Structure 1
Amino acid sequence: MDYKKVAQQVLECVGGGENLVSAAHCATRLRMVIADNGKCSKEKLEQIDGVKGVFEASGQLQVIFGTGVVNKVFEEFAPLAGIDVASTKDDVKKAAASKQNWFFRAIKSLGDIFVPIIPAIVASGLLMGLLEGLCNVYPAMAQSSTYTIIHLFSNAAFVFLPILIAISAAKTFGGNIFLGAVIGMIMIHTDLMNAWSVAGATDIPTASVWFGLYDIKLVGYQGHVIPVVIAVWLMSVIEKKLHKIVPEIIDLFVTPLVTVLVTGYVTLTIIGPVFVVVENGVLDGAKWLITLPFGIGAAIAGAAYAPTVVAGVHHMYNALEAGLLSAEGVNTWMPIATAANVAQGAAALALSLKTKNQKTRSVALPASLSAFLGITEPAIFGVNLRYVKPFIAGCIGGAAGGLVAGIMHVGASAYGITGVFGFLITTDCTLGYLLDMVVAAGVAFILSWILYREKSEDPIETVQEIPEAEKNDDTTSVEREGSKQDDKAVYSPLEGKLIPMTEVPDETFASKALGDGVAVIPEKGCVYAPFDGEVEMVYDTGHAIGLVREDGMEVLIHVGINTVELGGKYYTAKVSNGQKIKKGDLLLEFDMDEIAKAGYSLVTPVIVTNSDEYEGLTRKEHGRVEPGDQIITGSC
């Protein structure tokens, strides 16, 4: 590969150096922030020699080259673009964030707030569903002490939801999480009338505020979401400002006192009353849409769901679902999301069964199955968007499934689960949920089957094909010939839990654009050699390491998702480039707690980057593994 020529072509496709805000690279991708996206051609970028895919995420244009290639391309790209290499790794994330408009930054913040509390909501929702199911089978249980105790568990997260939201919001906005918890407690304090008791009350207490300017109702904010988020945002702003201006000697006393006093008073007198009206308007709008006659609104929402995933704004639905659960006790949005997800999975499934291209099938089939389990990004980004028509078929299928959900009034007792596992949290109308999925999948599958046409140049085939220079290299051919051994294996480099590559929370890895493999959710911060071989590259940020087995198999171990942004913090390499290694040698250490505190996923892909050279590659994709356990086998 002519790396300088490739770099020049990339620069031309993004509109030249004057259109480039900043750029950096990680173990696999060239990451760029573009000033004017209208001057950028993603189609031409995908046709450049060595490019395995192009994605847009978090304000960055990411061009996938793969391990060992991206750094060489970047070495040529940096001087051509006039990039300060030393500063880009720290600046590219800030540049990408600042480039996004306020709306997308707000949506990202909502995702950062509501995604971490999903386990608590799911636990409560599942308990509620299981409890009600048992009561349907054994009605007498509803009068038992066991029911009373477990029911207490099942609604705890919803009763104290404002506190959970406040803690998560404080973490997202950079405030003290304990002060955030106090603000949440103030909003549902027992001295305030419980919001759920207001409907039947005849005498609601009031208080005169702002020196008699007006009165407010002394009612708590149980069941509310948006007022809590706004209140904690204000708290974080005040706290950070005070930390800057208050002398350190009295900061410990003055800052918390003033922060809680000012935020609490403004929340109960202004933020709460105003944003309750705003939130009720949003919820009323969503309920109006979903309950339009004949399920029309639910169908519209089902069709629009997948495009919002592509746009990266789907995290806003977490706040909507939490609000519906708190206000109505039922989440009517989840079945619509399920319809959209399974429809995209069915569209990818139809493509995988119809295509004659083995590589296309190897990507599309697992991506489709993943979507049926609620993880839709691999199907959308890895398959359907590449061919366009399956994506459209999936949107139409989502509309059909949403129509069924709207007509049959299907709901759920939690959020955070869709697809097949959604049956666990479906309330009452289980048959409706089943029909929702069947109709969505059936329509999408049939339309995708009809619309998809095999082309002479398949996009997935193109991005994985072996460069001509490699095909004609006699040395490479000899190495491949000598590596045909069925008993070769890749052993786990980590202790932890195995998951399929399609479940990695990053579309580049999940779509297998970089190669086949598995991923490990680590339980200890040590990476060991998965075979005898050589260290091809230790990345200077320490988050990834490329290895070559003695027979030529190339493996990338990428510790965490987007952890290149840490700039090397919390990683310590124990080997160097070109070093010979034996299975079980310690390669890398990392601080799991600090990486998690910084907000990064620890999921670690283990990728055979030249997997297209190996037929019958088999993987162990589930279960717990220790370093040295066999996880991948295959022969050339």
Structure 2
Amino acid sequence: MALDHRQAAQEILEAVGGPGNIVSAAHCATRLRLVIADNSKIDKDKVENAAGAKGNFEASGQLQIIYGTGTVNKVYDEFIKLAGVSAASKDDVKQAAAQKANPFQRAIKALGDVFVPIIPAIVASGLLMGLTEGINNAMGGALSTDGWWILVHAFSNASFVFLQILIGFSAARVFGGNEYLGGVIGMIANHTALINAWSIPGAIEKFGGSAYQVVGSQAAATWLSAQTGSAVTAAEATSDAIMAAGGIPQVTLFGAYNVTLQGYQGHVIPIVIAVFVMCLIEKWLHKHVPDMFDLFVTPLVTVLVTGTLLLTVIGPVFSLVENGVMYGFQWLLSIPFGLGGALVGAIYPATVVLGVHHMFNALEATLIANTGVDNFNPIISCCNVAQGAACLAVFVKTKRMKMKELALPSGISGFLGITEPAIYGVNLPNMKPFVAAMVGAAVGGALSSLFGVVSIAYGITGLFGFLITTGYTLQYAICILVSAGVAFGLTTVLYRDDAERATPAETTQVVAETQATANQAGAIAEAANDTEPVQVVAETLASPMSGTAIALSSVPDPVFASEAMGKGEAVEPTEGKVLSPVDGTVTVLAETGHAIGLLSDGGAEVLIHVGIDTVELRGAPFSAHCKLGDKVRKGDLLIDVDLAAVEAAGKQTTTMVVVTNTDAYSSVTGADGPVTAGDPLVELK
């Protein structure tokens, strides 16, 4: 009995609480995707038993109901008519789902979106910095005058020296503003007319624990005269002169408001917040400034207002937060029995996320000045290696090649003391690895405190921390090994990447796709109970592409590798021509052109899926040379694919050839090794 698509849509609409509870609706090849206003209004039993529904699950803020290829689009058309909602793309639905997330989740996502594009720059600098400084320290500073070392060391810290510019550019892109104006805000935060934030600990140390801040030209002249031992006029009392003498200059605005001329090197959150505000201002101006003035008025006002807010409000307020955090950590370190070290180890990673961790240089400088040793730096090392270890656990556990490519260098960078790539690129977006690393850091911090591990300098952590903890080599090794081990172990237990989490639902989806492919071809009716088994004959599927044939189980996609969709073979292609492996009929053709289903004349239901996660490319690299319902012969060109474009987009070109009605055969075997399109690939008996 054929499915009544309108009735199916009506049942789902009633089950999810009616039209008033629908935020957005879209569909993909097999699933109806809904964003629901109030999930408590969903009748899960009705959804489960709705006509035509093959299963459902919730993911990424969406309720996804599986109908299968060729059915979902018809149910969707009826659904939007009944619900009175407009058609939306999958991206629209994802955006609507994201808006339902709580503020913390949205903030974390925004940070991830800002940092992921600049991770390669941070990784490059982090690895170079750890290697150059570590090797030089191991050699007692002998490389400091070597020409090659000087050049490479300059390269190594470039992205950190100008990190705020990268953040400004990336944040503007995320928040929908002009990227170059975002870069300008980052430049303001790094401007040489401001005292470098990394120099402030030195100024604090020089003046006995409090920064000597000079306000007003005459006061500055008097102060400078005392510092230099010679008369200085008000005109000579510039900000540069004050900074050169070790002071921190201030200016007075509105006759009463003192603003410290301080840069924000090492900060993250102030720049992100400032650029967010910049984007709001820019968008407002674009709407209200007449077009003929917009080109010069909008950028001018946007930079002027945002820069002023950064240096007078956003930055200073954030500095107050930093000071409070610093004093709090000093108190924590004084707690006995290892508890203080555990708390510091657990909390420190959060300060990295907030961008306030650089102010610990002042704390460490004070510790060394007062006691000659630093008990804070070894704990930071535990934190850093824990983040690196959690990242490496993700590398081992994930089946997504893109995540592996990001996690490995980020994890290594963490062991060398640079954790931004690991935190922002891998651990924090996935949350569980970040929490596991915090636990590992807490354990390591407790041990460090109990063992009394101290360093004789600061600024070098991770593996290179051995160079400054020479009196506690064994204890230091135990601390970082335990931290790394706990973080790695917990992450291994807790972490599951998107593909793994989706496996149960995707398995259900696969069954639906298998059924729907047969539906499309007329081989199986909508209800499996009303049909006779499909009669098949033995046949051989040809390779649709030239390249190297590999076992389906070795494909880095758990749905295909688990053979939940059926048995078959995969090809690592060297040419971008997809040829028909059988004589038969085109039963499924994805709108994006990345996948095609065929029903062979011998009864085999064959799915060819070009690449992994290539649906996200929206069809750009694919050109179909057939349409739904076409009769094709073995060797006919089905799809052209630009393999270079797929790889440039960060996707794998591995092409899966799956027999979705595997159960109809007693044997499905593949042939591994080099193949040419048209060669035997899968034997069906």
Scaled by the length of structure 2, what TM-score is found? 0.62
Amino acid at match of 2:607: E
* 2:532 is the counterpart of 1:478: no
Amino acid at match of 1:478: Q
CA contact under 8 A between 1:29 and 1:65: conserved in structure 2? Answer: yes
* 2:566 is the counterpart of 1:491: no
Structure 2 CA distance for aligned equivalents of residues 61 and 12 of structure 1: 14
* 2:86 is the counterpart of 1:36: no
CA contact under 8 A between 2:251 and 2:260: conserved in structure 1? Answer: no
Tell me the equivalent position of 1:151.
153
Structure 2 CA distance for aligned equivalents of residues 161 and 478 of structure 1: 64
Tell me the equivalent position of 1:451.
none
* 2:549 is the counterpart of 1:547: no
For 1:234, what is the secondary structure of its paired residue?
helix
Trace 1:141-540 onto structure 2 (pairs within 5 A): 141=143, 144-201=146-203, 202=207, 203-278=246-321, 293=339, 296-297=342-343, 320=353, 324=357, 333=383, 335-337=385-387, 374=407, 401-407=440-446, 428=466, 432=479, 434-439=481-486, 477-479=534-536, 481-483=537-539, 485=540, 488-489=542-543, 491=545, 502=556, 528-529=577-578, 531-533=580-582, 535-540=586-591
Amino acid at match of 1:577: L
- Of 29, 53, 58 in structure 2, the residue corresponding to residue 55 of structure 1 is 58
Structure 1 CA distance for aligned equivalents of residues 678 and 444 of structure 2: 45
Q: 1:562 to 1:22 in 2, by over 3 A?
A: farther
The Cα shift of 1:124 comes to 1.3
* 2:118 is the counterpart of 1:117: yes
Q: 1:438 to 1:265 in 2, by over 3 A?
A: closer
Tell me the equivalent position of 2:662.
613
For residues 233-271 of structure 1, give each alpha carbon's deviation from its aligned partner in whole angstroms, at most 9, with x where no partner exists.
122222222222333333222222222222212221112
CA contact under 8 A between 2:594 and 2:615: conserved in structure 1? Answer: no
The Cα shift of 1:177 comes to 1.2
For residues 102-150 of structure 1, give each alpha carbon's deviation from its aligned partner in whole angstroms, at most 9, with x where no partner exists.
4433332222111111111111112223335544765544553322222
For residues 448-475 of structure 1, give each alpha carbon's deviation from its aligned partner in whole angstroms, at most 9, with x where no partner exists.
9xxxxxxxxx989777667697977988
Q: 1:514 to 1:594 in 2, by over 3 A?
A: closer
For 2:64, what is the secondary structure of its paired residue?
strand
The Cα shift of 1:424 comes to 10
Q: 1:90 to 1:299 in 2, by over 3 A?
A: closer
Q: 1:68 to 1:545 in 2, by over 3 A?
A: farther
Q: Give ranges in structure 1 of 5+ residues lacking alignment.
A: 303-315, 349-364, 376-390, 411-422, 449-457
CA contact under 8 A between 1:522 and 1:602: conserved in structure 2? Answer: no
CA contact under 8 A between 2:395 and 2:407: conserved in structure 1? Answer: no
**Farther-moved stretch of structure 1 (39-48 vs 575-584):** 39-48
Residue identity over aligned pairs, in percent, reads: 38
Amino acid at match of 1:585: L
* 2:639 is the counterpart of 1:587: yes
CA contact under 8 A between 1:194 and 1:222: conserved in structure 2? Answer: yes
Q: Give ranges in structure 2 of 5+ residues lacking alignment.
A: 208-245, 362-376, 409-429, 450-460, 467-475, 496-503, 516-523
Amino acid at match of 1:116: P
Q: 1:287 to 1:584 in 2, by over 3 A?
A: farther
Amino acid at match of 2:545: Y
Q: 1:513 to 1:482 in 2, by over 3 A?
A: closer
CA contact under 8 A between 1:158 and 1:326: conserved in structure 2? Answer: no
Tell me the equivalent position of 2:232.
none
For residues 329-354 of structure 1, give each alpha carbon's deviation from its aligned partner in whole angstroms, at most 9, with x where no partner exists.
967655445666788999x9xxxxxx
CA contact under 8 A between 2:387 and 2:487: conserved in structure 1? Answer: no
For 1:38, what is the secondary structure of its paired residue?
helix
Q: 1:537 to 1:83 in 2, by over 3 A?
A: farther
Amino acid at match of 2:36: I
Q: 1:175 to 1:152 in 2, by over 3 A?
A: same
CA contact under 8 A between 2:605 and 2:660: conserved in structure 1? Answer: no
For 1:168, what is the secondary structure of its paired residue?
helix
**Farther-moved stretch of structure 1 (119-128 vs 545-554):** 545-554
The Cα shift of 1:318 comes to 11
CA contact under 8 A between 1:23 and 1:31: conserved in structure 2? Answer: yes
Q: 1:131 to 1:91 in 2, by over 3 A?
A: closer
CA contact under 8 A between 2:345 and 2:383: conserved in structure 1? Answer: no
For residues 397-432 of structure 1, give each alpha carbon's deviation from its aligned partner in whole angstroms, at most 9, with x where no partner exists.
87864554444569xxxxxxxxxxxx9988656765
Tell me the equivalent position of 2:106.
105
Q: 1:528 to 1:406 in 2, by over 3 A?
A: farther
Structure 2 CA distance for aligned equivalents of residues 284 and 493 of structure 1: 62
The Cα shift of 1:444 comes to 8.6
Number of equivalences: 547
For 2:311, what is the secondary structure of its paired residue?
helix
Q: 1:530 to 1:39 in 2, by over 3 A?
A: farther
Q: 1:115 to 1:45 in 2, by over 3 A?
A: farther
CA contact under 8 A between 1:3 and 1:72: conserved in structure 2? Answer: no
CA RMSD of aligned residues (A): 5.8
For residues 15-74 of structure 1, give each alpha carbon's deviation from its aligned partner in whole angstroms, at most 9, with x where no partner exists.
4444322211112432111011123366886788764662321x3233455555543553
For residues 568-598 of structure 1, give each alpha carbon's deviation from its aligned partner in whole angstroms, at most 9, with x where no partner exists.
88976554223337658373678999999xx
For 1:478, what is the secondary structure of its paired residue?
coil
CA contact under 8 A between 1:223 and 1:327: conserved in structure 2? Answer: no
Scaled by the length of structure 1, what TM-score is found? 0.66
Structure 2 CA distance for aligned equivalents of residues 136 and 69 of structure 1: 66
CA contact under 8 A between 2:646 and 2:653: conserved in structure 1? Answer: no
The Cα shift of 1:286 comes to 9.4
Tell me the equivalent position of 1:126.
127
